[in-house]
Chain A
Amino acid sequence: MLALNAIDLSVPPGSIVALVGPNGAGKTSLIRCCLGFERPTAGRVLVGSVDPQADRKSVVAMLGYVSQSTGLYRGLSVNDHLELAYSLRPGFDRQAAKGRLDQFGIPLRQRVGTLSGGQQAQVALAIALGTHAQVLLLDEPLAALDPLARNDFLNVLHDEVRARGATAMLSSHIVSDIVEVCDRIVVLAGGRIMLDDRIDAALNSHRLVAQDAPGQSTIAAVVRPGGERRWLIRSTDVALAQPTLDELVMGYFAASRDEIRQTEVAA
């Protein structure tokens, strides 16, 4: 069983990419490959033009990372985390990180274990941004956050990345949250890339129709709230309804699921 299979993905510098996929799609594996935490069994990953397996030191120096679990030390204070980052990463900007945390009223002397989930996510983001990394990898950092905390997190991320001209890849399965800050979307399902496009272009090139008809470039059936069934197709026909980003993503998830079922039946 491969976590990722036949992936061919290039992230343009300066973009914020939404990496979307159901649980087990391979989002975390892809991000971990970029960090050098996982070694691909075939093919290669390049960050900038450097292979993390060949030169992890250079790659890690380019990257800032926030994991879903945040990876923070529950027994250490917020300030200890900044000291830790400073001791491990040359050039870590403690003042900038402290300023960012001050904005959210997060006490530096407080133990991380006693902070709320949203505050912990802000600490993890402050550390990642304090590295001034040119590439930020964020692995489902929003999963456990309430809407307000999600909004705060995404605002800080968006402003920082845009101000610095950095590149970010943000994985999530909550599509509606990330659409505001991302300019590209990559749909990953079953270890394969189902869609890789600019968000506006992806929406413009798909339509929802009431019936599946021969000759249509059908992706999959999408069941809308209330049980209404529609078909997601590739089309630019302005007379047809354009899907929402949620419907677009659900259509590709469904397509992946259908492919897997067909493969299982064939086997």
Chain B
Amino acid sequence: MLRSALLTFRMHRFEVLLVAVLLTLTAVSALVARSHVAAANPSNECWSQNWSGGSTLECQASVANFWGAADEASFVASPLAVSLPFIVGLLLGVPIVGRELELRTAGLAWSLTGRRWRWLLARFVPMLILGGGGLLIVALLVADMARVAHPWNYLGPGRIPDLTEIGSEGMPLAARGLMTLGIGLLLGAVAGRTLPAFAIGTIACFALLFLGVPFLQGRVGEGVAVWRDQTDDRPALYVPGISDAGYRAPDGTILSFAQAQALAAGQPCPPDETSPDPGMGKAVTGAPVADCSGQWLAANGYAAVTRVAPIESYPTFENAEIFATSTIGLVCILLTFPIVSRRRPA
């Protein structure tokens, strides 16, 4: 097995070397950044003062210094980590079958064994271990760096997650790598040429990133979204496509903004007890001249609400992406086996 892995790495030495350099660079930059950020981290007391107000000048300087370090830290490691699964996946996935067909070496290999699935496994598994293992290590290091870089938020210790960060660290990053590796493997086997497979793979990855991910988050968001009073200042996740506003009736029914407006239309303005002139806002004829629907709704127990995904639902989004990307990757990998079995070598 080790001999077979070494042969695979020698066959694709350029890609293996490039991937190893990228993985090492990202891992080292995450480690260095983490240590810089950790060294600049102010005391808990300082953080607490910072968010509650009234911090000392020394504390303010310390926090400002920390944010500077955190920004610098994320400057190298984070962009690398976001693009790494796509680069690693395509670089390692495409040539496994694509180059063998392109350079006509598949004919020799397939004339030596009738079990092409074993040949494919022997070529694929080392690449999976290198790419998957490397990405997993990088993903964990970047996640740790991000944790250290966000020690406190305005509610207390910890970090407020953001859906745009999914895929830049932790398991979702590794799962994206698996997906791209599978896509690259499949495209290489289908196209039988590396350059077209790289080009199509890149387009597919962009499409998944910019269309697939928002679509998935929207679908998950539909399931987890709740209506929350606009006065509720607890943090929430911004989910593309699910943001909405309306009113909650006293009986708990949610009305859309238009429905609420229709309900309040024509209602007299409630007396404004804070105004020295209770009749202000009305014309001499008694017809309303100002839109008092908001006041009427508030006075009658209708609360303005916003549809948001609660922060606690972040793991649901994360797990959904891990599941979706891993599934796409595994399906692509499994589809490659029958294709290789039927493929005619050049």
A residues engaging B (CB < 8 A)?
32, 35-38, 55-61, 63-65, 67, 69-76, 80, 83-85, 87-89, 92, 124, 127, 131
Contact = CB atoms under 8 A, between A and B. Distances in A.
Contact of B113 (A38, A74, A89): A89
Nearest to A92: B112
Contact of B10 (A65, A69, A75, A92): A75
A94 to B, nearest CB: 12
B7 A80 contact: yes
Given A37-B345, A71-B105, A84-B7, A63 B111 contact: yes
Interface centre among B104, B110, B112, B119 (most CB of A within 10 A): B112
A171 to B, nearest CB: 14
Interface string B117-131: 011001000000000
Contacts, number: 77
A60 B11 CA distance: 23
Contacts of A59: 114
**Taking chain B's interface residues, is the majority helix, strand, or loop, or is none over half, making it mixed?**
helix
A60 B114 contact: yes
Given A60-B110, A83-B7, A127-B108, 12 more contacts: A35-B111, A36-B114, A37-B107, A57-B115, A65-B108, A67-B111, A73-B103, A87-B122, A88-B109, A88-B118, A92-B112, A124-B108
Contacts of A127: 108, 112
Chain A binding surface, main DSSP class:
mixed
Interface of B: 3-4, 7, 10-11, 13, 103-115, 118-119, 122, 344-345
Given A37-B344, A58-B114, A61-B114, A67 B11 contact: no
Contacts of B106: 71
Given A57-B114, A57-B115, A76-B11, A65 B105 contact: no
26 contacts: A36-B114, A37-B110, A37-B345, A38-B344, A57-B114, A60-B110, A61-B114, A65-B111, A70-B108, A71-B106, A71-B109, A71-B111, A72-B108, A73-B11, A75-B13, A76-B10, A76-B11, A83-B7, A84-B112, A87-B3, A88-B112, A88-B113, A88-B119, A88-B122, A89-B112, A131-B112
A244 B103 CA distance: 39
| Max chain B C-beta neighbours (<10 A), residue from A55, A60, A84 | A84
